[in-house]
Chain A
Amino acid sequence: MKKITGLFVFLLLNKFLNAQDVKMADVMRENGKIYVVIAVMLTILAGVVFYLVRLERKISRLEKNK
């Protein structure tokens, strides 16, 4: 039982330590600045989609005129 608990503690500690070594953008997630990036990306996507929809409308009009 002691052995298993020891192993469990070791694994947990190992996971925790490993998680701390690697530098990630945790600050960005903490202060919510990551949402700014998402907003920018979604705006670009919306712009591209808007452009494609306009283009498709124009093509449909051309197809009707032929």
Chain B
Amino acid sequence: MAERKNYMYMSWWKILGVVLLAYTFTAGLLVNVPRLPQLQETIRNLFFHVCMWFGMMILFTISFIQAIKFLRTNKIEYDIASRQYIGVGMLFGLLGYLTGTIWMSYTWADPNNPAYASFGSIAREPKLIGAAIALLVYAAYLVLRDSIQDMDKKARISAVYNIFAFAMLFPSIWIIPRLLPSLHPGGEGNPALNFNDIDSNMRLVFYPAVIGWSLLGVWITTLKIRLKKISEQKLVQ
């Protein structure tokens, strides 16, 4: 292989990711959590639902870096990497959305009324709309990409679009929801990064969980990148 071993072929970070995930699943269920009336045991979803969104942000950030690298070097391998990181990032985002739906239907919905009665107020939730905007902006990336036939043009236009999409990502999931009243926690200060915000016991699990889930996402993506490279080479021959 190459003189400098590519990160995709190293195994230490994959093992680290799996160990951190095993720790998340074990400690995530056993750690002492604050007893909050509304959340009760569902507070442990912090290690799963919130980590999906953090994983998505990290994967989109890597994709953004790969897009810039492509524009600097014009090497098609960066374009392939950029595209695959967005694919897996979208998967994480959709899982975050789905898990959020399950979680909120047990904590936000009014238990005294039928579920559809609370729907009106929940659907207006700014955090949900912001996240939907972010995911749709990235869905448009996939549509835009696949609509261009020419390889070089496709790579260049999607890299530029990727940069704009990334510029929209943080405003739509962090800034806009904060300007509006919301049921979603983390509206004040630096959510999840503020040291007084979440319980110190939970932080001991939450940070490793974010790293573990993100490494799992990166692992899946590297496999997709390698497969894509093989199929591209078959096309050239």
Contacts and interface: CB of A to CB of B under 8 A. Distances in A.
B45 to A, nearest CB: 13
B29 A45 contact: no
Interface string B1-43: 0000000000000000010011001100110000111001100
B151 interface: no
Nearest to B9: A60
A52 B220 contact: yes
Contacts, number: 46
Given A45-B18, A49-B18, A59-B226, A38 B25 contact: yes
A62 B18 contact: no
Nearest to B15: A49
A21 interface: yes
A42 B41 contact: no
B149 interface: no
A2 interface: no
A38 B29 contact: yes
A22 B37 contact: yes
Contacts of A59: 223, 226-227, 230
A56 B226 CA distance: 9
Contacts of B223: 52, 55-56, 59
Contacts of A22: 35-37, 40
A65 to B, nearest CB: 9
A66 B236 CA distance: 12
Contacts of B25: 38, 41-42, 45
A66 B230 contact: yes
A31 interface: no
B172 to A, nearest CB: 31
Contact of A19 (B29, B35, B233): B35
Interface in A38-59: 38, 41-42, 45, 49, 52, 55-56, 59
A1 interface: no
A41 B26 CA distance: 9
5 contacts: A21-B37, A25-B41, A38-B25, A38-B29, A66-B230
Interface of A: 18-19, 21-25, 29, 34, 37-38, 41-42, 45, 49, 52, 55-56, 59, 62-63, 66
Given A38-B30, A55-B223, 6 more contacts: A38-B26, A42-B25, A45-B25, A52-B220, A59-B223, A62-B230
Interchain residue pairs A-B with the least CB separation, the first 8: A22-B35, A41-B25, A59-B226, A25-B41, A49-B18, A22-B37, A62-B230, A19-B35
